[in-house]
Amino acid sequence: MKTGTYTGKIQLMFRVGRCLILNSLFVMMFISCTGQYKGMPREEVLAYHTYSTYGELYALAQAYAESINAAVKADTLHPGMYADYGVVLAQMGHREAACRMLNAEMLAFPESRGQVMRVKQSLLPELMGNEQADRTADTAQLARWAYDSISALRPLTAVASVIDSSDREWISQQTPTDSVEIPIRLTANQKREMLLQEQTEAERLRKAREDSVAAAKQAKLDARKQVKADKEKAKKQKVKAKKQADKEKKRLDKQRQKERKRQAAEKEAQRKQNVKGGGK
Amino acid sequence: MKRALLLLLPLLMVVGCKGPKKMTQYNEVYKERPSTIYIAPISDRSERHPMRTLDDSLYNASLNTATKQLFLTASDPLVFNGYYVLGPLASAQLAATETRTGKQLRNDNINDYYTELGIDAVLFITLYSWSETSSSWSADIEYVLRSTRTGNEVMHVFVKASKQLPTDFKGNPKPLGADLDFAAKYGCDLETAQRCRLVEIVNQFVLRDLPSGSRSRGNAVERYVVSHPEYFNLNINPSGGVELLKSNEN
Protein backbone atom coordinates (compact mmCIF):
# COMPACT_ATOMS: atom_id res chain seq x y z
CA MET A 1 0.00 0.00 0.00
CA LYS A 2 2.81 2.35 0.99
CA THR A 3 4.78 1.48 -2.11
CA GLY A 4 1.71 2.33 -4.23
CA THR A 5 1.42 5.87 -2.81
CA TYR A 6 5.15 6.47 -3.33
CA THR A 7 4.84 5.35 -6.94
CA GLY A 8 1.85 7.67 -7.42
CA LYS A 9 3.81 10.62 -5.99
CA ILE A 10 6.78 9.89 -8.20
CA GLN A 11 4.53 9.61 -11.23
CA LEU A 12 2.87 12.93 -10.33
CA MET A 13 6.25 14.63 -9.90
CA PHE A 14 7.40 13.18 -13.19
CA ARG A 15 4.28 14.50 -14.94
CA VAL A 16 4.62 17.97 -13.41
CA GLY A 17 8.31 18.09 -14.37
CA ARG A 18 7.51 17.02 -17.92
CA CYS A 19 4.83 19.70 -18.21
CA LEU A 20 7.20 22.36 -16.90
CA ILE A 21 9.95 21.37 -19.33
CA LEU A 22 7.55 21.30 -22.30
CA ASN A 23 6.04 24.67 -21.34
CA SER A 24 9.46 26.27 -20.94
CA LEU A 25 10.44 24.83 -24.33
CA PHE A 26 7.34 26.40 -25.93
CA VAL A 27 8.02 29.74 -24.25
CA MET A 28 11.64 29.67 -25.42
CA MET A 29 10.56 28.87 -28.98
CA PHE A 30 8.02 31.69 -28.92
CA ILE A 31 10.53 34.20 -27.53
CA SER A 32 13.15 33.18 -30.07
CA CYS A 33 10.63 33.54 -32.93
CA THR A 34 9.36 36.95 -31.85
CA GLY A 35 12.86 38.19 -31.17
CA GLN A 36 14.11 37.40 -34.65
CA TYR A 37 11.34 38.62 -36.90
CA LYS A 38 10.36 42.25 -36.93
CA GLY A 39 7.45 43.21 -39.13
CA MET A 40 6.96 46.57 -40.77
CA PRO A 41 8.15 49.39 -38.48
CA ARG A 42 4.63 50.76 -38.12
CA GLU A 43 5.42 53.06 -35.21
CA GLU A 44 8.00 54.94 -37.26
CA VAL A 45 5.82 54.96 -40.38
CA LEU A 46 2.89 56.49 -38.49
CA ALA A 47 5.19 59.02 -36.81
CA TYR A 48 6.63 60.00 -40.19
CA HIS A 49 3.18 60.23 -41.78
CA THR A 50 2.00 62.44 -38.88
CA TYR A 51 4.94 64.77 -38.34
CA SER A 52 7.00 64.45 -41.56
CA THR A 53 10.24 65.80 -40.11
CA TYR A 54 13.70 64.83 -41.29
CA GLY A 55 14.32 63.22 -37.91
CA GLU A 56 11.32 60.96 -38.35
CA LEU A 57 12.49 60.08 -41.84
CA TYR A 58 15.91 59.17 -40.51
CA ALA A 59 14.40 57.07 -37.71
CA LEU A 60 12.21 55.37 -40.30
CA ALA A 61 15.21 54.53 -42.45
CA GLN A 62 16.99 53.02 -39.46
CA ALA A 63 13.93 51.02 -38.48
CA TYR A 64 13.52 49.67 -42.01
CA ALA A 65 17.18 48.71 -42.23
CA GLU A 66 16.99 46.87 -38.92
CA SER A 67 13.71 45.19 -39.87
CA ILE A 68 15.10 44.02 -43.21
CA ASN A 69 18.22 42.71 -41.54
CA ALA A 70 16.22 40.82 -38.92
CA ALA A 71 13.71 39.55 -41.47
CA VAL A 72 16.37 38.18 -43.79
CA LYS A 73 18.05 36.46 -40.85
CA ALA A 74 14.71 34.88 -39.90
CA ASP A 75 13.98 34.11 -43.59
CA THR A 76 10.57 35.78 -43.42
CA LEU A 77 10.75 38.87 -45.59
CA HIS A 78 7.67 41.08 -45.50
CA PRO A 79 6.48 42.06 -49.02
CA GLY A 80 7.09 45.69 -49.86
CA MET A 81 9.83 46.24 -47.28
CA TYR A 82 12.63 46.83 -49.76
CA ALA A 83 10.39 49.10 -51.83
CA ASP A 84 9.45 51.17 -48.78
CA TYR A 85 13.08 51.41 -47.72
CA GLY A 86 13.93 52.48 -51.26
CA VAL A 87 11.33 55.26 -51.12
CA VAL A 88 12.72 56.44 -47.77
CA LEU A 89 16.29 56.46 -49.07
CA ALA A 90 15.21 58.35 -52.19
CA GLN A 91 13.53 60.97 -50.01
CA MET A 92 16.73 61.26 -47.98
CA GLY A 93 18.69 61.86 -51.18
CA HIS A 94 20.56 58.52 -51.34
CA ARG A 95 19.50 57.82 -54.91
CA GLU A 96 21.88 54.98 -55.75
CA ALA A 97 21.00 53.15 -52.56
CA ALA A 98 17.30 53.70 -53.21
CA CYS A 99 17.71 52.24 -56.69
CA ARG A 100 19.39 49.13 -55.29
CA MET A 101 16.59 48.63 -52.78
CA LEU A 102 13.89 48.94 -55.43
CA ASN A 103 15.78 46.45 -57.59
CA ALA A 104 15.99 44.15 -54.56
CA GLU A 105 12.21 44.28 -54.18
CA MET A 106 11.76 43.23 -57.79
CA LEU A 107 14.28 40.46 -57.25
CA ALA A 108 12.66 39.15 -54.09
CA PHE A 109 9.07 39.53 -55.33
CA PRO A 110 8.86 39.31 -59.13
CA GLU A 111 5.10 40.06 -59.06
CA SER A 112 5.94 43.56 -57.80
CA ARG A 113 7.83 44.47 -60.97
CA GLY A 114 5.16 46.67 -62.58
CA GLN A 115 4.41 48.64 -59.43
CA VAL A 116 8.04 49.10 -58.42
CA MET A 117 9.03 50.18 -61.92
CA ARG A 118 6.34 52.87 -61.76
CA VAL A 119 7.59 54.03 -58.36
CA LYS A 120 11.16 54.05 -59.65
CA GLN A 121 10.16 56.02 -62.72
CA SER A 122 8.55 58.68 -60.55
CA LEU A 123 11.38 58.88 -57.99
CA LEU A 124 14.55 58.00 -59.90
CA PRO A 125 13.95 58.56 -63.62
CA GLU A 126 17.68 58.86 -64.34
CA LEU A 127 18.37 55.36 -62.97
CA MET A 128 15.84 53.48 -65.07
CA GLY A 129 17.10 50.47 -66.97
CA ASN A 130 19.80 49.28 -64.57
CA GLU A 131 17.72 46.46 -63.09
CA GLN A 132 20.20 43.88 -64.39
CA ALA A 133 22.92 45.15 -62.03
CA ASP A 134 21.54 43.48 -58.91
CA ARG A 135 20.33 40.31 -60.57
CA THR A 136 23.25 38.26 -59.28
CA ALA A 137 23.18 39.61 -55.73
CA ASP A 138 21.26 37.59 -53.18
CA THR A 139 18.79 39.17 -50.77
CA ALA A 140 20.91 38.46 -47.68
CA GLN A 141 23.83 40.38 -49.16
CA LEU A 142 21.53 43.24 -50.06
CA ALA A 143 20.07 43.33 -46.58
CA ARG A 144 23.55 43.42 -45.05
CA TRP A 145 24.48 46.19 -47.43
CA ALA A 146 21.29 48.08 -46.55
CA TYR A 147 22.04 47.76 -42.86
CA ASP A 148 25.64 48.92 -43.35
CA SER A 149 24.59 51.84 -45.53
CA ILE A 150 22.34 53.20 -42.82
CA SER A 151 24.83 52.37 -40.07
CA ALA A 152 27.33 54.61 -41.77
CA LEU A 153 25.11 57.55 -40.90
CA ARG A 154 24.99 56.66 -37.20
CA PRO A 155 26.60 59.84 -35.77
CA LEU A 156 23.52 61.80 -36.84
CA THR A 157 21.49 60.62 -33.88
CA ALA A 158 22.00 63.53 -31.51
CA VAL A 159 19.41 66.06 -30.51
CA ALA A 160 20.44 69.57 -31.58
CA SER A 161 21.08 70.81 -28.04
CA VAL A 162 23.29 67.93 -26.97
CA ILE A 163 25.49 67.39 -30.00
CA ASP A 164 29.01 66.81 -28.77
CA SER A 165 32.12 68.09 -30.46
CA SER A 166 32.88 64.89 -32.35
CA ASP A 167 29.43 64.98 -33.92
CA ARG A 168 29.90 68.61 -34.86
CA GLU A 169 33.22 67.73 -36.49
CA TRP A 170 31.60 64.87 -38.35
CA ILE A 171 28.77 67.07 -39.56
CA SER A 172 31.20 69.76 -40.69
CA GLN A 173 33.17 67.13 -42.61
CA GLN A 174 30.07 65.69 -44.23
CA THR A 175 28.54 68.95 -45.30
CA PRO A 176 30.87 71.62 -46.70
CA THR A 177 28.07 74.21 -46.83
CA ASP A 178 26.67 75.96 -43.77
CA SER A 179 23.17 74.57 -44.14
CA VAL A 180 23.37 71.48 -41.95
CA GLU A 181 20.23 69.46 -41.51
CA ILE A 182 20.30 67.75 -38.14
CA PRO A 183 17.77 64.99 -37.79
CA ILE A 184 16.01 65.11 -34.48
CA ARG A 185 14.10 62.22 -33.00
CA LEU A 186 11.32 63.93 -31.09
CA THR A 187 9.91 62.66 -27.85
CA ALA A 188 6.19 62.32 -27.32
CA ASN A 189 6.02 65.60 -25.39
CA GLN A 190 8.05 67.44 -28.01
CA LYS A 191 5.75 66.10 -30.72
CA ARG A 192 2.73 67.26 -28.78
CA GLU A 193 4.30 70.67 -28.24
CA MET A 194 5.13 70.89 -31.92
CA LEU A 195 1.57 70.01 -32.80
CA LEU A 196 0.28 72.57 -30.31
CA GLN A 197 2.58 75.23 -31.78
CA GLU A 198 1.33 74.39 -35.23
CA GLN A 199 -2.24 74.59 -34.01
CA THR A 200 -1.58 77.93 -32.27
CA GLU A 201 -0.03 79.26 -35.45
CA ALA A 202 -3.02 78.01 -37.41
CA GLU A 203 -5.29 79.68 -34.84
CA ARG A 204 -3.38 82.97 -35.17
CA LEU A 205 -3.56 82.83 -38.95
CA ARG A 206 -7.25 82.05 -38.76
CA LYS A 207 -7.84 85.04 -36.46
CA ALA A 208 -5.83 87.31 -38.74
CA ARG A 209 -7.81 86.06 -41.70
CA GLU A 210 -11.07 86.62 -39.83
CA ASP A 211 -9.94 90.14 -38.83
CA SER A 212 -9.06 91.01 -42.39
CA VAL A 213 -12.38 89.65 -43.61
CA ALA A 214 -14.20 91.69 -40.93
CA ALA A 215 -12.23 94.83 -41.90
CA ALA A 216 -13.07 94.30 -45.56
CA LYS A 217 -16.72 93.85 -44.64
CA GLN A 218 -16.67 97.05 -42.56
CA ALA A 219 -15.00 98.96 -45.39
CA LYS A 220 -17.65 97.72 -47.76
CA LEU A 221 -20.39 98.80 -45.35
CA ASP A 222 -18.75 102.22 -44.93
CA ALA A 223 -18.51 102.65 -48.67
CA ARG A 224 -22.14 101.71 -49.04
CA LYS A 225 -23.09 104.25 -46.32
CA GLN A 226 -21.03 106.92 -48.07
CA VAL A 227 -22.74 106.23 -51.37
CA LYS A 228 -26.11 106.44 -49.65
CA ALA A 229 -25.20 109.72 -47.95
CA ASP A 230 -23.95 111.13 -51.25
CA LYS A 231 -27.21 110.18 -52.89
CA GLU A 232 -29.20 111.83 -50.08
CA LYS A 233 -27.10 114.96 -50.41
CA ALA A 234 -27.58 115.06 -54.16
CA LYS A 235 -31.31 114.61 -53.71
CA LYS A 236 -31.45 117.44 -51.17
CA GLN A 237 -29.42 119.66 -53.46
CA LYS A 238 -31.76 118.82 -56.31
CA VAL A 239 -34.79 119.69 -54.18
CA LYS A 240 -33.11 122.91 -53.05
CA ALA A 241 -32.25 123.80 -56.63
CA LYS A 242 -35.80 123.11 -57.66
CA LYS A 243 -37.11 125.33 -54.88
CA GLN A 244 -34.68 128.04 -55.91
CA ALA A 245 -35.76 127.71 -59.50
CA ASP A 246 -39.40 127.91 -58.47
CA LYS A 247 -38.70 130.98 -56.41
CA GLU A 248 -36.82 132.60 -59.29
CA LYS A 249 -39.64 131.74 -61.63
CA LYS A 250 -42.15 133.28 -59.26
CA ARG A 251 -39.99 136.39 -58.93
CA LEU A 252 -39.66 136.65 -62.69
CA ASP A 253 -43.38 136.09 -63.08
CA LYS A 254 -44.06 138.87 -60.59
CA GLN A 255 -41.59 141.13 -62.35
CA ARG A 256 -43.13 140.34 -65.70
CA GLN A 257 -46.59 141.00 -64.28
CA LYS A 258 -45.41 144.30 -62.83
CA GLU A 259 -43.83 145.16 -66.17
CA ARG A 260 -47.00 144.23 -67.97
CA LYS A 261 -49.03 146.36 -65.53
CA ARG A 262 -46.60 149.24 -65.93
CA GLN A 263 -46.74 148.91 -69.72
CA ALA A 264 -50.54 148.76 -69.60
CA ALA A 265 -50.61 151.85 -67.38
CA GLU A 266 -48.23 153.63 -69.73
CA LYS A 267 -50.35 152.67 -72.69
CA GLU A 268 -53.46 153.87 -70.87
CA ALA A 269 -51.77 157.14 -70.03
CA GLN A 270 -50.65 157.60 -73.61
CA ARG A 271 -54.09 156.79 -74.91
CA LYS A 272 -55.58 159.31 -72.54
CA GLN A 273 -53.04 161.89 -73.65
CA ASN A 274 -53.80 161.12 -77.29
CA VAL A 275 -57.52 161.47 -76.61
CA LYS A 276 -56.89 164.87 -74.92
CA GLY A 277 -54.65 165.99 -77.76
CA GLY A 278 -57.23 164.91 -80.41
CA GLY A 279 -59.94 166.83 -78.54
CA LYS A 280 -57.87 169.96 -78.56
CA MET B 1 -43.27 14.09 -32.70
CA LYS B 2 -43.44 17.17 -30.51
CA ARG B 3 -40.31 16.12 -28.66
CA ALA B 4 -38.49 15.58 -31.94
CA LEU B 5 -39.52 19.05 -33.11
CA LEU B 6 -38.44 20.61 -29.81
CA LEU B 7 -35.07 18.91 -30.16
CA LEU B 8 -34.69 20.03 -33.77
CA LEU B 9 -35.62 23.64 -33.06
CA PRO B 10 -32.39 24.70 -31.24
CA LEU B 11 -30.36 22.85 -33.86
CA LEU B 12 -32.11 24.75 -36.65
CA MET B 13 -31.57 28.01 -34.77
CA VAL B 14 -27.86 27.30 -34.45
CA VAL B 15 -27.60 26.40 -38.14
CA GLY B 16 -29.60 29.50 -39.07
CA CYS B 17 -27.34 31.79 -37.04
CA LYS B 18 -24.24 30.54 -38.81
CA GLY B 19 -22.82 32.84 -41.47
CA PRO B 20 -22.25 31.95 -45.09
CA LYS B 21 -19.37 29.75 -46.15
CA LYS B 22 -16.29 31.37 -47.63
CA MET B 23 -16.96 29.56 -50.88
CA THR B 24 -20.26 31.41 -51.34
CA GLN B 25 -19.31 34.71 -49.69
CA TYR B 26 -16.06 35.07 -51.66
CA ASN B 27 -17.14 33.20 -54.76
CA GLU B 28 -15.72 35.90 -57.02
CA VAL B 29 -12.39 35.87 -55.20
CA TYR B 30 -12.11 32.13 -55.79
CA LYS B 31 -12.97 32.67 -59.46
CA GLU B 32 -10.56 35.55 -60.03
CA ARG B 33 -7.75 34.13 -57.86
CA PRO B 34 -5.96 37.45 -57.20
CA SER B 35 -2.43 37.31 -55.85
CA THR B 36 -1.37 40.98 -55.91
CA ILE B 37 -3.51 43.57 -54.16
CA TYR B 38 -3.01 47.31 -54.21
CA ILE B 39 -4.51 49.41 -51.42
CA ALA B 40 -5.90 52.64 -52.85
CA PRO B 41 -5.69 55.80 -50.69
CA ILE B 42 -8.42 55.87 -48.05
CA SER B 43 -11.54 57.78 -48.96
CA ASP B 44 -12.29 59.64 -45.74
CA ARG B 45 -15.82 61.04 -45.71
CA SER B 46 -16.04 61.58 -41.96
CA GLU B 47 -17.05 65.05 -40.88
CA ARG B 48 -14.40 67.41 -39.53
CA HIS B 49 -15.03 70.20 -37.04
CA PRO B 50 -14.77 73.76 -38.39
CA MET B 51 -11.47 75.17 -37.09
CA ARG B 52 -12.64 77.59 -34.43
CA THR B 53 -10.81 76.54 -31.30
CA LEU B 54 -7.74 74.53 -30.45
CA ASP B 55 -9.92 71.57 -29.48
CA ASP B 56 -11.38 71.50 -32.96
CA SER B 57 -7.98 71.30 -34.59
CA LEU B 58 -6.85 68.61 -32.14
CA TYR B 59 -10.02 66.64 -32.91
CA ASN B 60 -9.35 66.93 -36.65
CA ALA B 61 -5.71 65.90 -36.16
CA SER B 62 -6.93 62.86 -34.23
CA LEU B 63 -9.21 61.82 -37.11
CA ASN B 64 -6.39 62.35 -39.61
CA THR B 65 -4.06 60.11 -37.61
CA ALA B 66 -6.74 57.41 -37.37
CA THR B 67 -7.20 57.52 -41.16
CA LYS B 68 -3.46 57.13 -41.63
CA GLN B 69 -3.47 54.18 -39.24
CA LEU B 70 -6.35 52.65 -41.21
CA PHE B 71 -4.21 52.83 -44.35
CA LEU B 72 -1.03 51.61 -42.69
CA THR B 73 -2.58 48.58 -41.00
CA ALA B 74 -4.57 47.37 -44.01
CA SER B 75 -1.63 45.61 -45.62
CA ASP B 76 -0.67 43.35 -42.69
CA PRO B 77 -3.71 41.01 -42.71
CA LEU B 78 -3.55 40.74 -46.50
CA VAL B 79 0.13 39.83 -46.36
CA PHE B 80 -0.65 37.31 -43.63
CA ASN B 81 -3.24 35.73 -45.95
CA GLY B 82 -0.60 35.30 -48.64
CA TYR B 83 -1.20 38.22 -50.98
CA TYR B 84 1.50 40.50 -52.31
CA VAL B 85 0.87 44.06 -51.09
CA LEU B 86 3.26 46.92 -51.70
CA GLY B 87 4.33 48.74 -48.53
CA PRO B 88 2.47 51.87 -47.40
CA LEU B 89 5.15 54.36 -48.44
CA ALA B 90 5.63 52.87 -51.89
CA SER B 91 1.83 52.61 -52.27
CA ALA B 92 1.51 56.30 -51.42
CA GLN B 93 4.20 57.08 -53.99
CA LEU B 94 2.35 54.98 -56.56
CA ALA B 95 -0.90 56.79 -55.72
CA ALA B 96 0.88 60.12 -56.28
CA THR B 97 1.49 59.14 -59.91
CA GLU B 98 -2.22 58.48 -60.47
CA THR B 99 -4.13 61.24 -62.23
CA ARG B 100 -7.64 59.86 -61.73
CA THR B 101 -9.65 60.74 -58.64
CA GLY B 102 -10.68 58.18 -56.05
CA LYS B 103 -14.25 58.19 -57.31
CA GLN B 104 -13.12 57.57 -60.87
CA LEU B 105 -10.91 54.70 -59.74
CA ARG B 106 -13.79 53.23 -57.78
CA ASN B 107 -16.22 53.31 -60.71
CA ASP B 108 -14.28 53.46 -63.98
CA ASN B 109 -12.28 50.89 -65.86
CA ILE B 110 -9.04 50.01 -64.05
CA ASN B 111 -7.77 47.40 -66.44
CA ASP B 112 -4.53 49.37 -66.89
CA TYR B 113 -3.60 48.43 -63.32
CA TYR B 114 -3.51 44.82 -64.51
CA THR B 115 -1.85 45.37 -67.86
CA GLU B 116 0.75 47.96 -66.79
CA LEU B 117 1.34 47.34 -63.08
CA GLY B 118 0.48 43.66 -62.71
CA ILE B 119 -2.04 44.30 -59.94
CA ASP B 120 -4.87 41.77 -59.73
CA ALA B 121 -7.24 43.62 -57.41
CA VAL B 122 -7.54 47.06 -55.83
CA LEU B 123 -8.84 47.47 -52.29
CA PHE B 124 -10.91 50.60 -51.69
CA ILE B 125 -11.56 51.53 -48.08
CA THR B 126 -14.11 54.22 -47.29
CA LEU B 127 -14.40 55.67 -43.82
CA TYR B 128 -17.90 57.12 -43.59
CA SER B 129 -18.29 58.51 -40.11
CA TRP B 130 -17.07 58.59 -36.55
CA SER B 131 -19.23 58.90 -33.49
CA GLU B 132 -18.34 58.77 -29.85
CA THR B 133 -19.79 59.06 -26.38
CA SER B 134 -17.84 59.24 -23.16
CA SER B 135 -17.44 55.46 -23.00
CA SER B 136 -17.78 54.24 -26.58
CA TRP B 137 -16.28 54.93 -30.00
CA SER B 138 -17.73 53.83 -33.28
CA ALA B 139 -16.89 54.03 -36.96
CA ASP B 140 -18.58 53.03 -40.21
CA ILE B 141 -16.16 51.54 -42.68
CA GLU B 142 -16.70 50.01 -46.10
CA TYR B 143 -14.27 47.64 -47.83
CA VAL B 144 -14.52 47.00 -51.55
CA LEU B 145 -12.14 44.79 -53.50
CA ARG B 146 -12.35 45.32 -57.26
CA SER B 147 -10.81 43.03 -59.80
CA THR B 148 -8.62 44.86 -62.30
CA ARG B 149 -9.16 42.22 -64.96
CA THR B 150 -12.96 42.24 -65.06
CA GLY B 151 -13.79 45.33 -63.01
CA ASN B 152 -16.15 43.29 -60.79
CA GLU B 153 -16.47 43.82 -57.05
CA VAL B 154 -15.08 40.59 -55.68
CA MET B 155 -15.58 41.59 -52.06
CA HIS B 156 -17.89 44.12 -50.47
CA VAL B 157 -18.10 44.45 -46.70
CA PHE B 158 -19.72 47.20 -44.63
CA VAL B 159 -18.87 47.28 -40.95
CA LYS B 160 -20.36 49.32 -38.15
CA ALA B 161 -17.69 48.91 -35.53
CA SER B 162 -17.97 50.11 -31.97
CA LYS B 163 -15.73 49.90 -28.98
CA GLN B 164 -16.96 49.96 -25.39
CA LEU B 165 -14.74 51.16 -22.58
CA PRO B 166 -15.00 49.65 -19.11
CA THR B 167 -16.32 51.95 -16.41
CA ASP B 168 -15.24 52.39 -12.81
CA PHE B 169 -17.55 52.21 -9.80
CA LYS B 170 -18.69 55.80 -10.37
CA GLY B 171 -19.61 55.03 -13.96
CA ASN B 172 -16.73 56.99 -15.47
CA PRO B 173 -14.98 55.33 -18.42
CA LYS B 174 -11.46 54.10 -17.80
CA PRO B 175 -9.08 53.38 -20.67
CA LEU B 176 -7.80 49.90 -21.42
CA GLY B 177 -4.17 49.14 -20.71
CA ALA B 178 -3.59 48.37 -24.39
CA ASP B 179 -4.86 51.83 -25.35
CA LEU B 180 -2.56 53.47 -22.83
CA ASP B 181 0.35 51.43 -24.19
CA PHE B 182 -0.52 52.48 -27.73
CA ALA B 183 -0.68 56.16 -26.72
CA ALA B 184 2.67 55.92 -24.97
CA LYS B 185 4.31 54.02 -27.83
CA TYR B 186 3.09 56.28 -30.64
CA GLY B 187 3.28 59.52 -28.67
CA CYS B 188 -0.36 60.46 -29.25
CA ASP B 189 -3.26 61.36 -26.98
CA LEU B 190 -5.68 58.77 -25.63
CA GLU B 191 -8.50 59.77 -27.96
CA THR B 192 -6.32 59.18 -31.01
CA ALA B 193 -5.15 55.89 -29.52
CA GLN B 194 -8.76 54.72 -29.12
CA ARG B 195 -9.55 55.51 -32.73
CA CYS B 196 -6.32 54.01 -34.09
CA ARG B 197 -6.79 50.77 -32.19
CA LEU B 198 -10.41 50.53 -33.31
CA VAL B 199 -9.55 50.82 -37.01
CA GLU B 200 -6.63 48.44 -36.60
CA ILE B 201 -8.87 45.78 -35.06
CA VAL B 202 -11.52 46.27 -37.74
CA ASN B 203 -8.88 45.90 -40.47
CA GLN B 204 -7.62 42.70 -38.89
CA PHE B 205 -11.12 41.30 -38.42
CA VAL B 206 -12.38 42.07 -41.93
CA LEU B 207 -9.33 41.45 -44.08
CA ARG B 208 -8.15 38.32 -42.28
CA ASP B 209 -11.46 36.77 -43.31
CA LEU B 210 -10.54 36.94 -47.00
CA PRO B 211 -9.58 33.58 -48.50
CA SER B 212 -5.86 32.90 -48.49
CA GLY B 213 -3.94 33.93 -51.60
CA SER B 214 -4.20 31.70 -54.63
CA ARG B 215 -0.64 30.49 -54.11
CA SER B 216 -1.22 29.63 -50.45
CA ARG B 217 -1.94 26.17 -49.21
CA GLY B 218 -5.02 27.27 -47.29
CA ASN B 219 -6.81 28.60 -50.38
CA ALA B 220 -8.62 25.36 -51.18
CA VAL B 221 -8.79 23.99 -47.63
CA GLU B 222 -10.77 26.82 -46.07
CA ARG B 223 -13.57 26.97 -48.65
CA TYR B 224 -16.08 25.47 -46.23
CA VAL B 225 -15.12 27.65 -43.29
CA VAL B 226 -17.81 30.05 -42.11
CA SER B 227 -17.08 33.63 -43.15
CA HIS B 228 -18.38 37.01 -42.07
CA PRO B 229 -21.54 38.34 -43.71
CA GLU B 230 -21.55 41.31 -46.04
CA TYR B 231 -23.02 43.77 -43.54
CA PHE B 232 -22.38 43.42 -39.85
CA ASN B 233 -21.94 45.21 -36.56
CA LEU B 234 -18.69 44.61 -34.77
CA ASN B 235 -18.39 45.18 -31.06
CA ILE B 236 -15.16 45.39 -29.13
CA ASN B 237 -16.21 44.71 -25.56
CA PRO B 238 -14.62 46.26 -22.46
CA SER B 239 -12.35 43.25 -21.95
CA GLY B 240 -10.89 43.72 -25.45
CA GLY B 241 -12.71 40.80 -27.07
CA VAL B 242 -14.22 41.14 -30.53
CA GLU B 243 -17.76 39.95 -31.22
CA LEU B 244 -19.94 40.03 -34.31
CA LEU B 245 -23.20 41.45 -33.02
CA LYS B 246 -25.80 41.58 -35.74
CA SER B 247 -25.78 40.76 -39.41
CA ASN B 248 -28.20 41.80 -42.12
CA GLU B 249 -27.48 39.59 -45.05
CA ASN B 250 -28.72 40.60 -48.46
DSSP structure string for A141-172: HHHHHHHHHHHTTTTTT--GGG--HHHHHHHH
Distinct helix (H) and strand (E) counts, chain B: 11, 8
B73–A116 C-beta distance less than 8 A: no
Q: What is the pLDDT of residues A15-51, one digit of tens each?
A: 777 767 766 665 555 444 444 445 677 777 777 766 6
Q: Are strands B153-164 and B136-147 parallel, antiparallel or unpaired?
A: antiparallel
Q: Does residue B167 belong to any structural domain of this protein?
A: no
Contacts of B245 (CB under 8 A, 6+ apart): B232, B233, B234, B235
Q: Helices marked H in A37-138 — which ranges?
A: 42-51, 54-74, 81-92, 95-108, 113-123
Task: Report the CATH number at residue B198.
Answer: 3.40.50.10610
Q: Which amino acid is at B35?
A: S
Cβ–Cβ gap A87/B93 under 8 Å: yes
Whether B59 is in a domain gets the answer yes
Q: Which residue type, as a one-letter code, is found at position A72?
A: V
Residues A82/A111, Cβ–Cβ less than 8 Å: no
Set of chain A residues whose Cβ sits within 8 Å of the Cβ of B119: 114-115
Measure the CA–CA gap between A124 and A126, rounded to whole angstroms. 6
Q: How many CB atoms lie within 10 A of CB A165?
A: 7
| pLDDT tier at A178, thresholds 50, 70, 90 | very low
pLDDT digits (tens, 9 = 90+) for A142-161: 655 555 555 444 333 333 33
Q: Write out pLDDT tens, residues B45-81.
A: 988 888 778 888 888 888 988 999 999 999 989 988 8
B68 touches A49 (CB < 8 A): yes
Asked, for residue B168, whether it belongs to a domain, the answer is no
Residue type, A147: Y
Asked if residue B161 lies in contact with residue B202, where contact means CB atoms within 8 angstroms, the answer is yes
CB contact under 8 A, A46 and B84: no
**What predicted TM-score, i.e. pTM, was given to this entire model?**
0.65
* Residue B15 within a domain: no
Question: How much is the pLDDT for B242?
Answer: 84
H/E segment holding residue B162: strand B153-164
What's the structural domain count of chain B?
A: 1
Instruction: Select the residue from A103, A199, A205 to test the B interface by mutation, using most B Cβ atoms within 10 A.
Output: A199
Residue B70 lies in domain? 20-158+191-230
Asked if residue B173 belongs to a domain, the reply is no
Phi and psi, residue A94, nearest 5°: -90, 80
Predicted ipTM of the assembly: 0.85
What is the number of residues in chain B? Answer: 250
| A51–chain B Cβ distance below 8 A for any pair | no
Least confidently predicted of A85-89, A246-250, A256-260: A85-89
Q: Is residue B174 part of a domain?
A: no
- DSSP-assigned beta bridge partners for residue B199: none
Of B64, B85, B185, the CB nearest to A43: B185
- pLDDT band of residue B161 (cuts 50, 70, 90) is very high
Give the residue extent of every domain in chain A.
42-154, 213-280
Pairing of strands B84-85, B36-39: parallel
